[in-house]
């Protein structure tokens, strides 16, 4: 069965994504890292769905894809707002709130 | 892999499942009014500004009608189950729906003047608020991984936009950005956990997931302890929601987001959004993961003790009242998580203590934000110093704030004491070393919290007003209504604890 390979791929993508979210300071790169985690989820869901012989996995993956699109849309809007106000999308410069 | 094994024939022969229209009436009404609000905005443009907040208020009151009829109905004929148990309307879900709708109504009362006076986009604001409340209402009935995920996103995505509402203010942008990044990251981790749990069980309905967590996925034998994949799945899902309820160590976004967002939105995030996270956690713990108490109980124990202690200690040295409320919210989250750490032993009792706490927490926290909002109308700031001498020029506000502060601290006879008592009682009832240690942590933290809550009261009553400025505060009618509502609820729940426990004494959640 090929399940292991799919899970390893998903696990690797997940780790790369988490690393990217934590380390990257560029707004667009962080969004891409989040997308990478979500794609790891989709691979898991589809692989498990095929392994268990049920279409639920693919249906779940479709929901994830649709919602991820909405989420990234909002994310880009926020990054755009910050670019308009600050002329930069470096998240380490967004630090007015402290305490 | 044999793709022909997929039961494609079943997909083709799709039959629409029966829909219980009465059961989903609250959701449909909210959806309809949300769409209507957007439509009215598009057609009437500026003229719609005047009616949008009233329309949103009417929407929430109209939603209460089917909730009441459903409550009457299920007390006779039992829980209503839809979609093989993915969507359940039972006592628990109706109580939480009512809490969401009423706290949403108070948030609209808080927003009315604030949004109208601040040159913001108005109709979209109320449309997004209704959408977010719709997500919460759906969340209280979801008993399925997919519907929990969709409800979670439906309530989160509009709130990212609400936090960023002051488009030209960098603070508000930053508040929204931090909330968005943490929220999306948390939901991605939660989804990874869900995908692992789906892999173990091949099902997404919580009762079926629960049944399969007792069985070894490979050998098919009964499990005595957890396997790594199940442990990882349960932990990831709970961590995802721990972000939402701002439990330590996932609380970093809360103070920044709360202080940068518009104050009514902060109240919404601190109350409704946080309660929604707890509703999801409660459903997962009591329906989805109940078989794996050996995994979630230690995790909840750590989250509860860390949130209480760290939240309270950082709250002690805050100089801004909104940030203080954020950290006090972190500590309160620790209190609400505590019964979940003994859920395996005491079951029903832990559930009803959490529901009680959530209902009372909504009233007292919204009230505190209402006073902060009213005081900021005059002082224009949210620093702790701006509360100085409040009693000398706004005695009503000062008395209300004192009630909320002592209620949050848990002083009898105000609402909070009964909530804390229930939690404490459930933890002690469980017995055992770890539960007793948790009880000790609860008791110590109640004392620490009293210090900073009482300090706010002291500032209002004993200090001089800044610059000796004693002009009274003009409190608009809608804000006064919100204050009266929350004060009455806080007092009633405190003096007549029977009134709240009668509603919150729910049995274990129906899983379908």
Please compute the mean of the pLDDT values over residues B141-158 and round it to a whole number: 92
CB-based contact, B174 to chain A, within 8 Å: yes
Q: What is the pLDDT of residue B1?
A: 47
In order of A7, B82, B347, the CA distances from A4 in angstroms are 5, 35, 37
* Domain assignment of residue B11, yes or no: no
Q: Is residue B231 part of a domain?
A: yes
Compute the distance between CA of residue B147 and CA of residue B152 in angstroms, rounded to an integer. Answer: 8
- Residue B18 carries which DSSP code? P
The two structure tokens encoding residue B6: 């997929």
Question: Domain locations in chain A?
Answer: 3-88
pLDDT digits (tens, 9 = 90+) for B49-86: 778 888 889 999 999 999 988 888 887 777 788 888 88
Q: How far is B493 from chain A (nearest CA, A)?
A: 34
Cα separation of B125 and B404, whole Å? 27
Q: Can you give the pLDDT at residue B502?
A: 67
CB distance B202–A56 less than 8 Å?
A: yes
Proportion of chain A above pLDDT 90, given as a percent: 42
Name the pLDDT band for B475 (thresholds 50, 70, 90).
Answer: confident
Check if B443 contacts A (Cβ < 8 Å): no
Q: What is the pLDDT of residues B281-329, one digit of tens each?
A: 998 888 888 888 888 888 999 999 999 999 999 988 888 888 999 999 9
pTM, rounded to two decimals? 0.91
CA-nearest residue to A31 within chain B is B181
Chain A hits for B198, Cβ within 8 Å: 44-45, 48-49, 56-57, 60
pLDDT score recorded for residue B306: 92
Chain A contacts of B190, Cβ < 8 Å?
Answer: none
Spatial neighbors of B400 by CB under 8 A, at least 6 apart, are B367, B370, B371, B483, B487
- pLDDT at residue A99 in the model: 54
**In chain A, which residues have their Cβ closer than 8 Å to the Cβ of B1?**
1-2, 50-51
Are B62 and B144 in contact by the 8 Å Cβ rule? The answer is no
Smallest CA–CA distance from A3 into chain B, residue: B1
Q: How far apart are the first and last CA of chain B?
A: 33
Tell me, yes or no, whether B106 lies in a domain. yes
- Most confident range (mean pLDDT) of A8-17, B164-173, B463-472 is A8-17
- Cα separation, B347 vs B324, whole angstroms: 33
Per-residue pLDDT of B325-383, as tens digits, reads: 999 999 999 999 999 888 878 878 888 888 888 988 999 999 999 998 888 887 777 88
Q: Where are the alpha helices (DSSP H) in B338-347?
A: 343-346
- Whole-number Cα distances in Å, A81 to A87, B79, B94: 9, 46, 39
Structural domain tally of chain B?
1
CB–CB contact B6 A50 (8 Å) = yes
Asked if the model's pLDDT at residue B226 lies above 80, the reply is no
Those residues with Cβ within 8 angstroms of residue B478's Cβ, 6 or more apart along the chain or in another chain: B109, B110, B112, B113
Please tell me which residue of chain A has the smallest CA distance to B182: A21
Q: How many angstroms separate the CA of residue A44 from the nearest CA in chain B?
A: 6
Q: Give contacts of B318 with chain A, Cβ < 8 Å.
A: 99
Please report whether residue B7 resides in a domain.
no
Instruction: Tell whether B8 is covered by a domain.
Output: no
Read off the pLDDT of each residue in B402-408 and give the average, rounded to a whole number: 89
In this prediction, residue B114 has a pLDDT band, given cuts at 50, 70 and 90, of: confident
pLDDT given at position B286? 87
Chain A residues within 8 A of B185 when measuring between CB atoms: 21, 34, 37
Statement: A3-88 belongs to CATH 1.10.287.3510:
yes
Residues A64, A42: contact at Cβ < 8 Å?
yes
Higher pLDDT, B18 or B280: B280
Residue B202 and residue A54: Cβ atoms within 8 Å?
yes
The answer to whether position B6 is within a domain reads no
State the residue range of the domain holding B153: 17-504
Buried b (16+ CB within 10 A) or exposed e, A11-27: eebbeebbebbeeeeeb
């Amino acid at each position: 069965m090929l399940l292991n390979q799919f899970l390893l791929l998903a696990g690797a993508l997940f780790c790369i994504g988490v690393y990217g979210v934590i380390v990257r300071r560029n707004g667009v790169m962080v969004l891409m890292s989040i997308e990478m985690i979500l794609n790891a989820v989709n691979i898991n869901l589809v692989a498990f769905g095929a392994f268990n012989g049920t279409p639920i996995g693919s249906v779940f993956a479709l929901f994830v894809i649709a919602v991820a699109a909405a989420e990234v849309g909002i994310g880009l809007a926020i990054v755009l707002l910050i670019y308009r106000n600050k002329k930069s999308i470096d998240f380490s410069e967004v630090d007015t709130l402290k305490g | 892999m044999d793709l022909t094994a997929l039961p494609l024939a079943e997909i083709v022969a799709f039959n629409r499942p029966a829909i219980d229209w009465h059961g989903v009436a609250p959701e449909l009404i909210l959806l309809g009014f949300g769409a209507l609000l957007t439509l009215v905005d598009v057609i009437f443009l500026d003229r719609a500004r005047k009616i949008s907040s009233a329309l949103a208020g009417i929407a929430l009151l109209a939603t209460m009608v089917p909730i009441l009829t459903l409550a009457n109905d299920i007390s006779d004929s039992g829980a209503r189950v839809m979609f093989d148990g993915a969507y359940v309307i039972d006592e628990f879900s109706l109580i939480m729906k009512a809490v969401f709708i009423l706290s949403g109504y108070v948030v609209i009362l808080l927003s009315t003047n604030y949004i109208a006076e601040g040159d913001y986009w108005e109709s979209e604001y109320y449309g997004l608020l209704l959408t977010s409340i719709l997500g919460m209402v759906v969340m209280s009935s979801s008993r399925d991984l997919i519907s929990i995920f969709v409800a979670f996103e439906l309530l989160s995505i509009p709130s990212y936009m609400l936090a960023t509402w002051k488009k030209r203010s960098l603070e508000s942008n930053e508040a929204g950005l931090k909330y968005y990044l943490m929220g999306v990251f948390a939901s991605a981790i939660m989804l990874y956990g869900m995908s692992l749990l789906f892999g173990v069980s091949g099902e997404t309905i919580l009762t079926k997931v629960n049944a399969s967590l007792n069985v070894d996925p490979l050998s098919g034998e009964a499990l005595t302890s957890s396997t790594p994949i199940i442990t990882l799945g349960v932990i990831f899902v709970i961590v995802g929601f721990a972000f939402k309820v701002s439990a330590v160590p996932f609380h970093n976004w809360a103070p920044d987001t709360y202080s940068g967002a518009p104050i009514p939105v902060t109240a919404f995030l601190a109350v409704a959004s946080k309660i929604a996270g707890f509703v999801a956690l409660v459903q997962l713990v009591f329906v989805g993961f109940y078989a794996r108490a050996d995994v979630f109980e230690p995790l909840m124990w750590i989250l509860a003790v860390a949130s209480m202690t760290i939240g309270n200690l950082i709250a002690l040295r805050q100089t801004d009242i909104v940030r203080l409320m954020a950290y006090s919210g972190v500590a309160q989250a620790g209190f609400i998580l505590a019964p979940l750490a003994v859920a395996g032993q005491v079951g029903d009792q832990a559930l009803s203590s959490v529901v009680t706490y959530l209902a009372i927490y909504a009233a007292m926290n919204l009230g505190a934000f209402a006073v902060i909002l009213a005081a900021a109308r005059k002082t224009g700031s949210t620093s702790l110093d701006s509360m100085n001498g409040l009693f000398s020029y706004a005695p009503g506000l000062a008395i209300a704030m004192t009630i909320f502060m002592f209620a949050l601290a848990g002083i009898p006879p105000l609402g909070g004491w009964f909530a804390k008592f229930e939690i404490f009682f459930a933890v002690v009832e469980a017995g055992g070393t770890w539960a007793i240690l948790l009880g000790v942590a609860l008791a110590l933290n109640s004392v620490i919290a009293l210090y900073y809550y009482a300090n706010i009261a002291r500032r209002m009553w004993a200090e001089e007003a800044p610059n000796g400025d004693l002009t009274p505060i003009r409190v608009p009618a809608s804000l006064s209504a919100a204050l009266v509502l929350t004060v009455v609820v806080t007092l009633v729940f405190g003096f007549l604890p029977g009134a709240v426990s009668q509603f919150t004494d729910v049995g274990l959640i129906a899983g379908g």
